[in-house]
Structure 1
């Protein structure tokens, strides 16, 4: 059953994991220049995606529409609403830039990613992950890939202030065996792995899980192979009008977890932070205001 609060884009994202390879190519084609890419005839849409016309017909029914005309009617309605609504026309994210400016296109994509991710994020999963990360009897390891390694480092940098027994693993897989050697049953491994999933990540997850390590995974809507080894998974929307995927919503979830963990034992966190500030003072790390 379709709801009027969801856009066609939302519906496609929600069903993406259950689509066939050909249907996924079609979905990606539709989302590439959304919603205009879906306004042509069923034959044109199929040709643009490199799939057959029956594939288009099957996918729109799988999405919950009665047929292609209803699917396209929803797209027309969205486009009409965005054009005719004076508030939508006035309240651009960057008011001094055209609606088609990269700032506005990026803002719209990020807000859609945030809305979709939050609608599907399970609060119980979030709370359980925060509880694991806050358990000081466990050692916590963080690792990411070529791009997501920066997110792993950001998470680690904050968590090492909040609690002891935290380790940042290099994105270089050759260094992982030494870390796995130090892992004990019940420890936590936080993995960041988004599309173009790195094969070594699944291997690391499998080995760590065999050792009794609890895995928390940050991935995208299409889901890393690591998911089958993970105790908790955060599937975050990452698409943006760019050659690069967006990390904005992933960082949002990370920062929310940081706050949840530090607030759960604030007295201890504050004491560690005060001690750290004293060390910064001794090292003269930061400039003083005169």
Structure 2
């Protein structure tokens, strides 16, 4: 299967748009493939199951099930396949959307943690941790996720700004010297034209760029090598932000760890003291990393 993934990466530029979407899904969701079907992948990507089957045959498999079975035989399945978890799920009916959403969200969080082991993640962490100034901007429904990221980073380090984009021109991001700075963009399908344009402008001026998006974004890797991904497709009416928030929490944790935690504890103590003086806490004991 490693040869297959290497082939998907090597041949990506030659694929059609639909084939490229399938390849990106397989590359970015390796640990989830055993749980998918040709129909479920087709539904996620907005293409036909026939297209998925044709792509599998092009790769040398009789159908998607053959690809999945080969991967299942050679992979370590995540813990959600354990008996205890299955027993817990049995409390729900098979048709219950809560069960489907719970399973899917856990799968997607597992995928986030799996991808946090790659070099792209390490590069993004280093870029953020070593920057003097960080600008964070979110688009569409991901503005809330961007706010969580910015606010959490503000607790553990100085020089973090949440960009609201109200001006419409992002001059505060693009006109300053890019040295020692970093821009983090958060957006998912359907991608805002503003997010892509801002990413292009940042690339053009040499501003270090981290893009947090979903696994189907095929333009982000062309603009930066630091692309962090999490998906949000579940069974509920509205998309889930749980996997993306898991990514943000893990990212902040690793940014702190990149510097060995230097100065973070002192900063948190000072923030806590200021908050206590200005606002105050309910005295229920000392908690780490939150509450202000």
> Structure 2 length normalisation: TM-score?
0.71
Measured at CA, do residues 112 and 177 of structure 1 come closer, stay the same or move farther in structure 2, by a change above 3 Å?
Answer: same
2:278 alignment partner in structure 1: 283
CA distance in 2, matches of 1:18, 1:115: 30
1:272 alignment partner in structure 2: 267
| Cα distance, 1:153 vs structure 2 | 0.7
Query: 1:96 and 2:91 equivalent?
Result: yes
CA distance in 2, matches of 1:70, 1:159: 43
Query: 1:205 and 2:199 equivalent?
Result: yes
| Cα distance, 1:237 vs structure 2 | 3.1
1:165 alignment partner in structure 2: 159
Query: 1:193 and 2:191 equivalent?
Result: no
Measured at CA, do residues 119 and 163 of structure 1 come closer, stay the same or move farther in structure 2, by a change above 3 Å?
Answer: closer
- Unaligned runs of 5+ residues in structure 1 are 4-11, 39-44, 78-85
Query: 1:260 and 2:254 equivalent?
Result: yes
- Of 135, 138, 162, the residue aligned with 2:130 is 135
CA contact (8 A) 1:186 1:212 kept: no
2:288 alignment partner in structure 1: none
Residue-pair matches, total: 257
CA contact (8 A) 2:115 2:121 kept: no
CA distance in 2, matches of 1:153, 1:69: 39
> Structure 1 length normalisation: TM-score?
0.71
CA distance in 1, matches of 2:17, 2:231: 19
Measured at CA, do residues 96 and 253 of structure 1 come closer, stay the same or move farther in structure 2, by a change above 3 Å?
Answer: same
| Cα distance, 1:64 vs structure 2 | 4.3
- Unaligned runs of 5+ residues in structure 2 are 26-32, 73-80, 286-292
CA contact (8 A) 2:185 2:212 kept: yes
- Of 144, 148, 159, the residue aligned with 1:154 is 148
SS at match of 1:147: helix
CA distance in 2, matches of 1:260, 1:36: 35
2:233 alignment partner in structure 1: 239
Measured at CA, do residues 247 and 227 of structure 1 come closer, stay the same or move farther in structure 2, by a change above 3 Å?
Answer: farther
| Cα distance, 1:270 vs structure 2 | 1.0
| Cα distance, 1:102 vs structure 2 | 1.9
RMSD over aligned Cα atoms: 4.1
- Of 91, 94, 103, the residue aligned with 1:108 is 103
